[in-house]
């Protein structure tokens, strides 16, 4: 039922099924670029490659790629929260569980700290920021702090 709905939604939006991104290979970055209809700026940093996609509706989504070509982190700074299903792939399920499990926290950032997945949705209306990364995929000598 849910799968059908997902496929239907993709068809309705005319978007290619954007495969998992976080934890997947760099080729999935171009899918994001297409869906966000944005400009992709690629820069090399110490130990990784950074794609910064500026979306047509404003805001920047960053994707961090290891020398092995895997996306080990994503982050965003934008007026709207990006499509996390597309950015996080199967990792979105951990975010979904955490979002549904919030107790007492109201109007508050959403944070996930599980064994091998870190997620933050922060900021406020008109000015959101956030990140997600997989610690075990961090390239050698690249600290988590580069993801921001």
Partner 1 sequence: MTIKRNSVVSLGILLSVVGGLVVMGSCGGSSSSTTTTTTTPPPTLTNLVSLSVNLGLTGDYVDGLFTSVEVCAPGSTTNCTTIPDVLVDTGSAGLRLLSGSLGTVSLPSVTDSSGNEIQECIQYVSLAYTWGPIAQADIHLGGETASKAAVQIVSETPSPATPPDSCLSAGVNGAFPENSASALGANGILGVANYGPDCSGCTLASNEIPQYFVCPSGNCTIANVPSTGIVTNPVSLFSTDNNGVLVSLPNVSTGGAATVAGTLYFGIGTESNNGLGSATIYAVDNANNFTTTYSSAQYTDSFIDSGSNALYFLDANTLGGNIECAYPNTGFYCPASTLGFTVTNSGINGTSGSFSFNIANAANLFSTGYAAFNNLGGDSGTSPSTDYFDFGVPFFFNRNVFVGIAGTTVPNGVSAPYGYWAY
User: Which strand ranges, in their side-by-side order, compose the sheet holding 48-54?
Assistant: 39-45, 48-54, 60-65, 71-78, 127-133, 117-124, 110-114
Site for partner 1 (CB under 8 A): which residue of 43, 57, 68, 136? 57
Choice between 26 and 52, CB closer to partner 1? 52
Choice between 66 and 121, CB closer to partner 1? 121
Residue 29, classed as helix, strand or coil, is helix
Site for partner 1 (CB under 8 A): which residue of 7, 11, 13, 45? 13
Task: Report 66-125 residues binding partner 1 (CB under 8 A).
Answer: 79-85, 92-93, 95-96, 99-100, 102-111, 113, 118-125
CA distance 51 to 140: 19
**Positive or negative torsion for Cα 57, 106, 88, 41:** positive
We find the least distance from the C-beta atom of residue 142 to partner 1, in angstroms, to be 13
Choice between 44 and 56, CB closer to partner 1? 56
Backbone angles phi, psi at 58, to 5 degrees: 100, 155
H or E element in which residue 96 lies: helix 92-100
Q: Contact residues for partner 1 (CB under 8 A)? A: 2, 5-6, 9, 12-13, 56-58, 79-85, 92-93, 95-96, 99-100, 102-111, 113, 118-129, 131, 144-145, 147-148
């Amino acid at each position: 039922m849910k799968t059908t709905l997902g496929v239907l939604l993709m068809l309705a939006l005319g978007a290619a099924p954007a495969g998992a991104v976080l934890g997947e290979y760099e080729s999935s970055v171009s899918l994001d670029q297409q869906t966000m209809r944005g400009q992709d700026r690629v820069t090399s940093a110490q130990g990784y490659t950074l794609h910064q996609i500026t979306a047509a509706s404003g805001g920047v989504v960053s994707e961090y790629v290891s020398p092995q070509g895997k996306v080990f982190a994503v982050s965003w700074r934008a007026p709207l929260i990006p499509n996390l299903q597309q950015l996080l792939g199967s990792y979105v399920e951990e975010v979904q569980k955490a979002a549904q499990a919030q107790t007492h926290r109201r109007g508050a950032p959403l944070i996930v700290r599980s064994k091998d997945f870190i997620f933050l949705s922060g900021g406020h209306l008109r000015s959101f920021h956030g990140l997600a990364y997989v610690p075990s995929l961090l390239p050698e000598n690249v600290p988590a702090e580069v993801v921001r």
